């Protein structure tokens, strides 16, 4: 005869054990053998001791299971008795996981996008929601459902280093979350333009090329930059601040004589390498690791006004 067993409860993924006690009323008591008549998958009973053991799987909770066990006397005519009771398995919420997010280095004026990859082992499946922790930079967001992160970085955002944290949260009653931090380094992009080209000065030598930096926040060192068509290389100490102009004169003395009140700094002298018909002037900057990049370019003819070509607003050519 089994001693009664009350309602049992256990959390999924947690070891459960219960020592069943059965007494044989015979004298002397005979050996009993315990067997499991029915019960959830994985539940085991020790035939000699009656110890029930089980670790419910993720899929087995939450649920309730009926268990039927039998104790049988030894011998060919052994009598037996059965016991029925229930085990309630409760859900245990596991924290979701979030794949590591790499660090990024991006240029201003570009859009950074990637997709957060998250998982949650709980069953029944849970809904996961993405978010950004703390104060994200303006324009940065993550789609709560898809995990797609997007940051449109402004054309004139300037250089910055940003530490962001992506988080994913499950929808359990007591939600759990995971988060990953990543660094976004924004590099400023030189957008200095050839603003004005004056190639027919009344006073010989006063011809000039004017540069303008339209950035509101980034100063550029023009060290080693050069102007093609004029054989001019900017000296090491040259900088061009935000919203600032810089003049390169064919002959600095002649330029300052013709324009004594020039508000912009004046560099020189350059050697005119353009043909009588005009030509192309390029502002080039050296690249780390060799080579040059064209920052601004103007092609023009001297015989008639224009045509000149340049991205952005047209320069004045005269
Ligand atoms: Ca979960
Ligand atoms: Ca679970
Ligand atoms: Ca479960």
pLDDT digits (tens, 9 = 90+) for 116-143: 999 999 999 999 999 999 989 999 999 9
Q: Which residues surround ligand 2, an ion (CB under 5 A)?
A: 92, 122
DSSP states of 59-72: GG-SEEEEEEEEEE
The two tokens of residue 96 are 């979701």
Q: Which run of H or E residues covers position 256? A: helix 252-258
CA–centroid distance, 123 to ligand 3, in Å, is: 4
Q: Can you list the domains of the chain with their CATH numbers?
A: 8-90 (2.60.40.10), 97-187 (2.60.40.60), 193-317 (2.60.40)
Question: What are the tens digits of pLDDT across the range 37-89?
Answer: 999 999 999 999 999 999 999 999 999 999 999 999 988 778 899 999 999 99
Q: How far is the CA of 11 from the centre of ligand 3 (A)?
A: 9
The Cα–Cα gap between 293 and 285 comes to: 5
Q: Which residues does 207 contact at the CB level (< 8 Å), separation at least 6?
A: 198, 199, 200, 201, 249, 250, 255, 272
* DSSP state letter for 253: H
The Å distance, Cα 120 to ligand 3 centre, comes to: 11
Non-local (6+) Cβ contacts of 197 within 8 A are: 208, 209, 210, 281, 298, 300, 308, 315, 316, 317, 318
**Strands across the sheet with 129-132, in order?**
104-107, 177-187, 160-169, 129-132
What number of CA atoms fall less than 13 Å from residue 306's CA on the CB side? 7
Please give the distance, rounded to the nearest whole angstrom, from the Cα atom of residue 67 to the centre of ligand 2. 22
Which residues does the chain have with pLDDT short of 70? 302-315, 317-318
Which ligand has its closest atom nearest to the C-alpha of 171?
Answer: 1
DSSP result, 182-214: EEEEEEP----EEEEEE---SSTT--EEEEEE-
- The pLDDT of residue 308 is 47
Which residues are paired to 102 by β-bridges?
Answer: none
pLDDT at 278: 76
Centre of ligand 2 to C-alpha 73, Å, is 40
Ligand closest to CA 58: 3
Structure tokens at 123: 């069953």
Distances (CA, A) of 78 to 32, 46, 72, 74: 9, 19, 6, 5
Q: Ligand 3 is a single-atom ion; what residues have CB below 5 A from it?
A: 58, 61, 91, 123
Residues 183 and 103 sit within 8 Å (Cβ to Cβ) = yes
- Distance (Å) from CA 80 to ligand 1 centroid: 44
């Amino acid at each position: 005869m089994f001693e009664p067993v009350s309602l049992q409860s256990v959390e999924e993924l947690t070891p459960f054990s219960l020592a069943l006690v059965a007494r044989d009323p015979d004298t002397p008591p005979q050996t009993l053998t315990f067997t499991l008549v029915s019960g959830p998958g994985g539940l085991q009973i020790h035939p000699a001791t009656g110890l029930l053991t089980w670790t419910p799987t993720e899929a087995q909770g939450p649920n309730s299971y009926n268990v039927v066990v039998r104790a049988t006397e030894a011998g060919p005519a052994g009598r037996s008795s059965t016991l029925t009771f229930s085990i309630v398995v409760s859900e245990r919420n596991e924290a979701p996981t979030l794949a590591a997010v790499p660090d990024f280095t991006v240029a201003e004026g570009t859009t950074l996008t990637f997709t957060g990859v998250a998982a949650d082992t709980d069953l029944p499946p849970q809904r996961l929601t993405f978010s950004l922790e703390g104060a994200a930079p303006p324009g940065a967001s993550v789609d709560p459902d898809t995990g797609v992160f997007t940051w449109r970085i402004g054309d004139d955002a300037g250089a910055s280093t940003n530490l962001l944290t992506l988080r994913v949260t499950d929808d359990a009653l007591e939600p759990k979350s995971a988060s990953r931090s990543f660094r976004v380094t924004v590099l400023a992009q030189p957008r200095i333009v050839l603003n004005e080209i004056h190639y027919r000065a009344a006073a010989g030598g006063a011809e000039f090329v004017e540069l303008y930096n339209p950035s509101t926040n980034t100063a550029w060192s023009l060290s080693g930059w050069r102007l093609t068509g004029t054989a001019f290389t900017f000296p090491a100490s040259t900088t061009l601040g935000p919203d600032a102009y810089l003049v390169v004169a064919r002959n600095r003395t002649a330029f300052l004589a013709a324009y004594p009140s020039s508000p912009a700094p004046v560099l020189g002298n350059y050697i005119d390498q353009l043909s009588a018909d005009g030509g192309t002037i390029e502002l080039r900057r050296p690249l780390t690791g060799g080579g040059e990049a064209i920052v601004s370019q103007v092609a023009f003819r001297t015989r008639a006004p224009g045509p000149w070509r340049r991205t952005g607003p047209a320069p004045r050519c005269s």
